A and B are shown apart, each in its own frame.
Chain A
Amino acid sequence: MSVVARLSANVRRQGEGLDLALPYLLLAPAVLFAFAVLVYPIWDGIRASTMSYRYGKAVGWVGFDNYTRLWSDPQFLNALWVTVSFVALAVAFETVLGLALALFCANEFRGVRLLRGILIIPMVITPVVVAIVFRLIYASDAGMLTVVSQSLGGGPVEILGHPARAFLGLVALDVWEWTPLEFLILLAGIQSLPVEPFEAARVDGASPWRVLLDHTLPMLKPVLAIAIVLRTIDAFGTFDQVFVLTRGGPGEATKLLSIYGYDTAFKFQDTGYAAALFVTMGLLILAAALAAVRIMKGMTPP
């Protein structure tokens, strides 16, 4: 028998019976698990969004009625608007601030390691705890802001009871908590940039400002885009802090989609409508993320 023939016989024997099935058998538990915790809930949510519920019980199939209802529901449109402005404002601040801190901490100086460590702390605190701490700061009777204001001779500071200030207060909380994430991603990005082009730019006559605009930012674009997309997706789903601080109030001023959806599902027991809301929200985020990735691809040279 020639060598080639013997080898191919071997191959055939190897591909028989258990050998063929083994990879699939090994994969099966993981696939089942993924189905149970990922695919099934999503599927169930989509199914629920096409049903009508009364007192928490499904009473019939209504097709896309829940979805069409959303777009004529002023509360939903308001929640969508509040969410989009919250996300835009928070992520913008977080990115600019995170970038500034990252640029500063990318330099080597005494104590920079400690500073980097301290800057990450807000991110690792449990969100609900952060919210409680901020409630202590914002409280109008004995909150920190009021105490400081009074010691300076001013009056009590009303934050959470005032629509615009409550909204900005939540943005401030989000910025405090999540700027560290942007900082961390961007710091890693900056530190992985090559050193030589920056030296070349300095020799070529660029001022620090020009170096930032002409080199740092363009080279950082992909990382910057990832940081922004990541934060945007995450900010869309903000819930705990708002729930603890304002529950969406005063009025509808801080009613994010997540809070409105929660109310719909658990206060008004309109599970189908809430499911439609969350599926829509998921699709919006997905569309935004895809658009962002598209733009990112367009920005990076071939």
Chain B
Amino acid sequence: MTDFGSALAAAFSLVIHLDRDLGEIVLLSLRVSVIAVFVAALIGLPIGAAVALFRFPGRTVVAVILNALMGLPPVVVGLIVYLLLSRAGPFGVLGLLFTPTAMVIAQILLVTPIIAALTRQVIEDLWVEYEEQLRSLGAKPRRALATLLWDGRFSLLTAVLAGFGRASAEVGAVMIVGGNIDHVTRVMTTAIALEVSKGDLALALGLGIILVVLSIAVNGAAFVLKGTAERGQAR
């Protein structure tokens, strides 16, 4: 217990004094996850919306696959990306393994299905409500799509934030493809895993605190946004 108490005290002192190593790890984590989520949103939003809106053969299959991929185990994604990027793999020549780019790629694969599946749900619900009115006004499919994305913006932002939550909390994939190399690919989650195994609870706890605060902040933002949206859209 005293062990925990002193570790907690040390952790807070690290956080409050903005320890250099700690700062570096936090910034890399944010950079990797933000870039990954940004790219995943660029891919996932249009895919989800298209699946919701357009009738094409295999549409149901795609929807089911998207939902299934939401629960993809990070270690499996890590393994796949590892195999693709390793020296013997098809993209080995790029030399990306154990770089932040590899971690971004892994997280894109993890997050895109989440954003796409949630987007599909949001847009589908909205389409049920809007379809006849939009068709009556003469909206072409592309305009209808843009309208749905815009009118669903608050719910869609929540979907993107859910993706961010998944990316920043995930440890398996970035561990495998990043390698947890100090000053290169060490992010919050991998650092916590390592420091705990080494017994340096102060740094692990400090990072844990930041991770939790970040998660609360993101979810709080989502909650506030959704609330604002629903008030603006009452009834």
Do A and B pair up? The answer is no
Residues of B at under 8 Å CB distance from A? none
Residues of A at under 8 Å CB distance from B? none
